[in-house]
């Protein structure tokens, strides 16, 4: 009996010893693991710093950020354009406006406001005429006259061109003197001036890098544009000017070249 009890005690002791060894081993392991994590930490910080450095080299490119540009033709028209600017300002959104020279004359304060609030401004001829089949003198009377007027109003001279009806030929490209901006989403807002239809169409066609064509001379289009902003904001889109859109994609706009979108 004594022997058996001793054997039993020894076994118990042995189990306890094994338990101690196991506990010690676990403790040692946890200490080593903690030490390992600490020594590993600087490497992880370096990796983060590397990523941050890459981001700094191309600040405009935020991975996964969906960008889209709202553009408005045929303005300014004081009543509608002013309401649009108010709505865009409330939402912190910048757009691009292709202006009619003849309408700039009487709305210089509206045009200055656009510029001051960070919107981009472009040319859409002086009298909204087709630019195809014009001689150089007539072309200049539409494009250069508008450019000179806007330069006088704003003090700078870096305006994009959108030809009325999107119509252009080799002469237009050669004489433009700036990049030519077309569009990728056209709700044809002038057709029926139906806010609901326009919003649905634009939101359904929206994609990263798109350029939306609208007209800020119609009250229904102003309503539609602001609803589009709210709906696409909810989908994670960031609205930007045409220049910002292409800069974000690393595309340098060239004079006389045509651009429809900045799809990734």
- Whole-angstrom distance, CA of residue 75 vs CA of residue 215: 7
Stretch that binds Ni ion, among 37-45, 87-95, 158-166, 192-200 (CB under 5 A): 158-166
128 versus 233: smaller Cβ distance to Ni ion: 128
Residue 156 annotated to the active site: no
Task: Name which of 213 and 247 has its Cβ closer to Ni ion.
Answer: 213
Catalytically annotated residue among 215, 216, 223, 243: 215
Q: How far is the CB of 128 from Ni ion (least distance, A)?
A: 6
Residue 73 found at the interface with Ni ion (CB under 5 A)? yes
Identify which of residues 208 and 216 has a Cβ nearer to Ni ion in the complex.
216
Kindly determine how many residues on this chain lie close enough to bind Ni ion according to the rule CB under 5 A: 3
Q: List the one residue out of 52, 120, 69, 38 whose CA is nearest residue 225.
A: 69
Question: Residue 74 interacts with Ni ion (CB under 5 A)?
Answer: yes
Residues in Cβ contact with 61 at an 8 Å cutoff, skipping those fewer than 6 apart: 55, 248, 249, 250
Candidates 39-47, 113-121, 147-155, 162-170; binding stretch for Ni ion (CB under 5 A): 162-170
In the structure encoding, which two tokens stand for residue 35, read together?
Answer: 């030490």
Q: Is 41 a catalytic residue?
A: no
Report the residue number, 118 or 166, with the smaller CB distance to Ni ion.
Answer: 166
Binding site for Ni ion (CB under 5 A): 73-74, 164
């Amino acid at each position: 009996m004594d022997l058996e009890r001793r054997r039993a005690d020894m076994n118990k002791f042995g189990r306890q010893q094994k338990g101690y060894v196991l506990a010690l081993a676990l403790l040692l392991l946890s200490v080593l693991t903690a030490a390992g994590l600490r020594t590993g930490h600087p490497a992880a910080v370096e990796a983060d710093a590397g990523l941050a450095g890459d981001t700094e080299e191309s600040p405009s490119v935020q991975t996964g950020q969906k960008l889209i540009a709202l553009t408005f033709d045929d303005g300014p028209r004081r009543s509608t354009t002013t309401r649009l600017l108010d709505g865009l300002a409330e939402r912190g959104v910048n757009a691009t406006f292709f202006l009619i020279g003849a309408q700039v004359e009487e709305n210089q304060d509206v045009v200055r406001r656009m510029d001051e609030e960070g919107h981009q401004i472009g040319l859409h001829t002086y009298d909204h005429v087709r630019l195809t089949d014009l001689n150089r003198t007539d072309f200049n009377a539409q494009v250069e006259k508008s450019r000179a007027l806007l330069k006088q109003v704003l003090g700078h001279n870096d305006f994009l061109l959108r030809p009325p009806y999107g119509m252009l030929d080799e002469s237009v490209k050669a004489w433009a003197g700036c990049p030519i901006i077309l569009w990728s989403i056209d709700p044809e807002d002038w057709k029926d001036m139906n806010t609901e239809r326009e919003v649905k169409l634009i939101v359904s066609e929206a994609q990263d890098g798109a350029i939306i064509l609208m007209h800020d001379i119609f009250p229904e289009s102003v309503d539609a544009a602001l609803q589009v902003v709210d709906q696409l904001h909810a989908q994670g889109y960031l609205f930007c000017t045409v220049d910002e859109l292409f800069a974000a994609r690393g595309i340098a706009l060239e004079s006389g070249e045509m651009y429809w979108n900045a799809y990734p």
